[in-house]
Structure formats: C-alpha cells, structure tokens
Amino acid sequence: MRIAIAGGHGQIARLLARRLVEAGHEPLALIRKPEQAADIEADGATPVVIDLEKTDDAGLAEVLTGCDAVVFAAGSGPGSTPERKLTVDRDGAILLADAAVQAGVTRMVVISSRRADTFDPDSDDIFQIYLKAKAEADAAVRAHDDLDWTIVRPGGLTDDAGTGQVEIGENVEGSIPRADVAHLVAELIMSGRGVHQQFEVVSGPTPIAELPL
C-alpha cells in the first residue's frame, strides 16, 4: 500500500512510517521543510515537500494520486499562534480530506485529540482554540460521504516505549505513548478496520490487534 502522511516529520508520523516500511508498505511523508527530507529517507519513507498552509486542494490531490490511504498527523505544535491552530490543525485536515476525495483516495485516518468536542467557544485560551480546531476538522472529515474515515483521539502523549495495549471508548481517561498511537494507526490502515468510527484512546489492557473495531 502507498500511504501519504501529512505532518510527516512529526514524532507519531515518523514512528508510523517506520512501522509501515517494516510491514512492506510505501509511506509518503508530506513535509514542509526540505531539510527534513534526510530524516524521512533514513526512516525508509519517501519525502514530499509541500506546505499545507500554502497549497490548495488541487495541488495536494496531485501528490495524493495513486495513494491507497492518507493520514493526518500534522499539528501546529507547542508555542504556535492561535491562527496556526486553525490554519494547520483545522484547515490542514480539511484540505487533506478534500484533496483525497479529488484524488480518488477513500481511506483516511485522522489523529485528533481527546475531549476535542468540549472546547469553550467563547474562550481565547490557546488550548481551547486547539480543541476547537480539532473538533471542527473532525466534523468536516465525518461529513465526507466519499471517505472511509477513522478519527483517533489520543489522551496525553508520552515518549514511553509502546506496550501494544490500549483502551478505546467515547470517553476514556489517561495517557498513551506515541509509539502506541502509531501502532494503532498502522493497524487501522493495514487491516481496514474502524471505518466510520471516532474514539478516544489511552493505554489499557487490550492488545491493539484484538480491539473491537
């Protein structure tokens, strides 16, 4: 399979790409900075330099043509402005969904955030704006009738070693290693499971391959 990963130089994205490569698949890492290409190539993935804040759906669709799936793993990152929470975390995901449909790619997995729908619409707090961006992006993806989407909403992210075991649900409490988020997303893509499902995920007792998806 050929899988395009938006936000391809992020921690989860790189863990995902390595896992996909090991399984015999071909990840394309969509990156904003050319100097990140060497890291991507070291992971065994193919770098594609494209800025989601500066391209349009037609330009991105051209990149996605021939892919079997897309993953939204991009984020504006800590310390970014409220404006970039919207242009990256929200608009980037919507752009990827629109471009995927144009390119004939039906499978999309979105890495979102736990409790995204609980944002305070009247708050100017940066975290509330982040949650708003994620919630609005998720809603736009869910509205695409032509997409086989899955929305994964992780709890607090850690750099601990992955355990391969998680808990999923509409509302779950806790944290999760980035490695386990990457493991879960890879499982969703390779197995085709979890279509039209949205769930939160944290560390837990259930092996990822045995999740009731």
Identify whether 69 is a catalytic site residue: no
What is the number of domains present in the chain?
A: 1
| Dist. CA 91–CA 197, nearest whole Å | 21
Nearest residue to 74 (alpha-carbon basis) of 43, 108, 112, 124? 112
Q: Where in the sequence is the domain holding 74, given as residue range(s)? A: 2-210
User: Mean pLDDT throughout 147-173?
Assistant: 97
pLDDT single digits (tens) 33-86: 999 999 999 999 999 999 999 999 999 999 999 999 999 999 988 888 999 999
Which run of H or E residues covers position 156? Answer: strand 156-158
pLDDT single digits (tens) 95-112: 999 999 999 999 999 999
Q: Which residues contact 40 (CB under 8 A, 6 or more apart)?
A: 8, 9, 14, 17, 29, 31, 46, 47
User: Mean pLDDT throughout 172-183?
Assistant: 98
CATH for 18: 3.40.50.720
Active-site option among 17, 63, 97, 130 = 130
- The single residue listed with the structure tokens 């039906």 is 106
- At residue 186, the pLDDT reads 98
